[in-house]
Amino acid sequence: MNFRKLVYFSYANFRGYKVSHLYQQLQQESSSVINIGTTQKLLEKLLIHCKKNVPYYADYLNKISPDKLLMQEQEQWLTQLPILTKDIIRENFQQLQSADLAQRKWYFNTSGGSTGEPIKIIQDQEYTDNSEAITLLYSHLVGRELGELEAYLWGSEQEVIKGTKGWKANFFNFLSNTIYLNAFKMTPESMRRFLRCLNAKRPQLIIAYAQAIYELAKFTESEHIKVVPQKAIITSAGTLYPWMRDKIEMVFQCQVFNRYGSREVSNIACERPGCKGLWAAPWGNYIEIVDDNNQPVPAGVEGNILITCLKNFAMPLIRYKIGDRGTLSAEYHSGQILQYVTGRNVDTFKTQDGTLIDGEYFTHLLYFRKWVKKFQIIQKSYSHISIKIIQDARFSYQPEDLNDVISKCKKIMGETCIISFEFVNDIPHASSGKYRYTISDI
């Protein structure tokens, strides 16, 4: 075990986290064939917990006789439960909480997902430890062990607004041996500096927003910057289109692995060397694909993705309609296989001097404001950003709320940029069925 990994896990153990034990356990299990019974047992445990402790699900599960539950496969239990949406979570927030919440180490989390509709959820330490262990495993499977050098091209609105990533982030970056470029504000100079770092240090793995690493690849090519071959790249937080993958792999001369997840349920699936599709770690989430009428579709047919999080007992998300579309393989290779995922689309905004700003910077400014039900942010020109908002009628906003958004937009776009708001009744999806919550017309 390398020094940084030892210190990282020692600190985690000291704080009472179980990620070290879980990671070693998952590494061992993933080295051999994992049968579907692993996920079925976790599903059974989750559903029994819900039947006893979660009022929202107990109302449905208590209508089923115990004998019938024992005779059915766990997947059949799920089909007797309703599909969970963001609106249902908002309307049944108390009913979705576990009755034993006070006995758990729990916290609030928030997410807008791919639809631009923010929600608040509760997660617990067991979920956090399990999620981190699975994330470390995904990195391990593509060649990077914890403690080996890793480069992140990721987003931090805090760094833009306050000028720092925070001492906790810096501390954990040191322990995990991570270097970092803020994908929310990629200036020509910061991109050159990051590329120099990649050339000099050649990290074991680069983890990046799909759109950000694609823009970095285009910048590298247009500026005729030579990059030494990198070792591996994981992309996430956006759709990785084939033409994006081709460009990234050509510029950085290494294989790109796509990873899929969300704040609500953490990382769901990731590509692995020598395998087709995205492998869903069987200890994290269970996946279903349904049509627009919420009926199951055959394997290989695209539909709406439903996620059942197997480890968050504080506020279970069962058959959660995450807002993306995808296709599930008929084959099971030590876990479910997503053939592909569609549905997310984030544009990169640009300033007159060539600075690239990931669209997620702007979405983070509108997440979790109670009066915002849904939004879409459009860059009309270098000096104009238009924000469409569907207001939640239950909540009002104050002028200072709008001024706060304007101030933070100007912070990154420049003080002369015009920020306009349009309050609307509807924001239509694109003809493809995807919802674009940031659009750049540049």
**Residue 145 exposed, middle or buried by CB count within 10 Å (0-12, 13-18, 19+):** middle
CA 114/CA 249 separation, integer angstroms: 26
**Residue 393 exposed, middle or buried by CB count within 10 Å (0-12, 13-18, 19+):** exposed
Between 88 and 333, the higher pLDDT residue: 88
Per-residue pLDDT tens over the stretch 192-203: 999 999 999 999
Residue 283 has pLDDT above 90, yes or no: yes
Question: Please, how many CA atoms are within 13 Å of residue 5, restricted to the half-sphere of its CB?
Answer: 16
The length of the chain is 442
Q: What is the pLDDT of residue 297?
A: 92
Residue 146 has pLDDT above 50, yes or no: yes
Proportion of the chain in helix, strand, coil states, percent, rounded to 5: 35, 25, 35
Distances (CA, A) of 421 to 116, 357, 424: 16, 20, 10
Q: Name the band, by pLDDT with cuts 50, 70 and 90, for residue 434.
A: low
Q: Name the band, by pLDDT with cuts 50, 70 and 90, for residue 10.
A: confident
Residue ranges per structural domain of the chain: 3-129+263-342, 143-254, 348-440
Strands (E), 223-381: 233-236, 256-262, 266-270, 278-279, 285-290, 303-309, 320-332, 336-342, 348-350, 356-358, 372-381
- Cβ atoms 123, 314 nearer than 8 A: yes
H or E stretch covering 37: helix 37-53
Q: Name the band, by pLDDT with cuts 50, 70 and 90, for residue 433.
A: very low
Between 363 and 404, the higher pLDDT residue: 404
Q: What is the pLDDT of residue 343?
A: 62
Q: What is the pLDDT of residue 116?
A: 52
Q: What is the pLDDT of residue 394?
A: 85
- Stretch 386-392: mean pLDDT: 93
CA 281/CA 30 separation, integer angstroms: 9
Q: Name the band, by pLDDT with cuts 50, 70 and 90, for residue 67.
A: low
CA 28/CA 30 separation, integer angstroms: 6
H or E stretch covering 391: strand 384-391
CA 280/CA 332 separation, integer angstroms: 10
CA 272/CA 249 separation, integer angstroms: 15
CATH tag, 3-129+263-342 = 3.40.50.12780
Q: Name the band, by pLDDT with cuts 50, 70 and 90, for residue 306.
A: very high
Q: What is the pLDDT of residue 9?
A: 87
Per-residue pLDDT tens over the stretch 352-386: 888 888 787 888 888 778 898 888 999 999 999 99
The DSSP code sequence of 399-423 is HHHHHHHHHHHHHHH-TT-EEEEEE
Mutual orientation of helices 167-176 and 3-14 as an angle, nearest 10°? 130
Between 131 and 262, the higher pLDDT residue: 131
Strands (E), 68-204: 106-111, 119-124, 150-154, 178-182
Domains 3-129+263-342 and 143-254 share a fold: yes
3-state secondary structure of 187: coil
Per-residue pLDDT tens over the stretch 94-113: 999 999 999 999 999 877 54
Query: Which CATH superfamily hosts domain 348-440?
Result: ANL, C-terminal domain (3.30.300.30)
- Cβ atoms 237, 266 nearer than 8 A: no
Mutual orientation of helices 210-222 and 188-201 as an angle, nearest 10°? 90
Under CATH, to which class is 143-254 assigned?
alpha beta
Per-residue pLDDT tens over the stretch 210-268: 888 988 998 999 899 999 999 999 998 877 888 889 999 999 999 999 999 988 999 99
The first and second tokens of residue 259, run together, are 């990873």
Residue 11 has pLDDT above 90, yes or no: no
Q: What is the pLDDT of residue 160?
A: 46
